[in-house]
Amino acid sequence: MICSTVAAAGPDPGAPTEVPKSAPPAPPAPPAPDAPAPDAPPSMAEQAEKVADKAKLTPIITNPGNPTRPAFQLYAEIDLPIVATGAVFALARLTKVQPAYCAPLCSQSGLNAIDKLTAGRFSSAWSTASDFELYGLGAAAAVILLHDEGALNALNDAVVMGEATLSATAVASIMTLAAGRPRPFLYSDSAPLSVRNSADAGLSFLSSHTAEAFAIVTSLYVAEKRLHPGSMRPKVILGVGLGLATMVAVSRVMAGYHFITDVAGGAIVGSSLGVLIASVHNSPVEIVPIVNTDTKTAGLGLTGNF
């Protein structure tokens, strides 16, 4: 934005009277990104328009009445494959049927100093608490969107948050299967023998609960930042949400299902994917610069999917 300041001065009786100039004409709207060149032959222009129409993505939900809602634009050709692929990867951990390599009791000699602090811990109560904390965090995010946008737009944006969470789960599943790290409760006999001999006992790194919690919070923050630009509301939601996500991580450590390094990795992966998946989804309305070289004026225009 360019601002200019003109100092006020008193009238000069001897100065000629200046005729006020009319305001410069509004800058022309920018051409569509897929529009043909202005000097293209009619036949080529028609062909280009047909190709552009065929290449357009199919928006799943649009809101002509309020183009600033929802926060994200879904497309059938992009989001449906993401959800399907993410679901397959997220369910990959169900294919593991072998117990951990050191079950039913592992030695702490190979652990680093940080993870030795929580080795051998087990608490089913903390495990249950972490489940309810994660579910509550997801429900709170849904309520916030519902209050902001109404049912249909909230559902649209919840799909993107779900994609972020599902992607975090998928990455966590791949990592746990690749690492095959024993859970902390395998380093003592505090957990029941059936739990220590289960296939789930070898899926410690990284924490999917933590990754999901941080993905929910960060993707909600991106949505709120678009819905309430210039407001402190998104930052407050981010701060409270990160605190709740950290509680999920702490609960997983206290339960003996994850080491500190497991939840630290989950927090990084979940936060990164939450921001990434939400950010690559365009807003239905985009602000584009408009420059008119003839009148030497500039401005901003809105373009969107209606």
Please report, for the domain that includes residue 110, its CATH number.
Answer: 1.20.144
Q: 207, 220, 213, 212: which is closest to 275 by C-alpha? A: 220
Does residue 306 belong to any structural domain of this protein? no
For residue 203, being part of any structural domain is answered with yes
Q: Each residue of 216-250: pLDDT tens digit?
A: 999 999 999 999 998 999 999 999 999 999 999 99
Is residue 9 situated within a structural domain? no
Distance CA(280)–CA(79), nearest Å, equals 11
Helix, strand, coil % over all residues of the chain, rounded to 5: 55, 5, 40
3-state secondary structure 199-258: HHHHCCCCCHHHHHHHHHHHHHHHHHHHHCCCCCHHHHHHHHHHHHHHHHHHHHHHHCCC
Question: Could you give the CA distance from residue 282 to residue 150 in angstroms, rounded to a whole number?
Answer: 20
Q: Which amino acid is at 283?
A: S
Is 301 inside a domain boundary? no
**E strand or H helix at 132, and its extent?**
helix 124-149
Q: Is residue 280 part of a domain?
A: yes
Expressed as residue numbers, the domain containing 172 is 76-285
3-state secondary structure 69-125: CCCCCCEHHHHHHHHHHHHHHHHHHHHCCCCCCCCCCCCHHHCCHHHHCCCCCCCHH
- Does a structural domain hold residue 172? yes
Q: Does residue 291 belong to any structural domain of this protein?
A: no
- Model confidence pLDDT, tens digit, residues 50-108: 776 667 777 776 665 676 788 898 888 888 888 999 999 988 888 999 999 999 999 99
- The answer to whether residue 11 scores a pLDDT higher than 60 is no
Q: Does any domain span residue 302? A: no
Per-residue pLDDT of 257-273, as tens digits, reads: 999 999 999 999 999 99
Q: How far apart are CA 254 and CA 8, in angstroms?
A: 69
Domain count, the chain: 1
| Of the candidates 208, 128, 115, the residue with the CA atom closest to the CA atom of residue 168 | 208
This prediction's pTM: 0.77
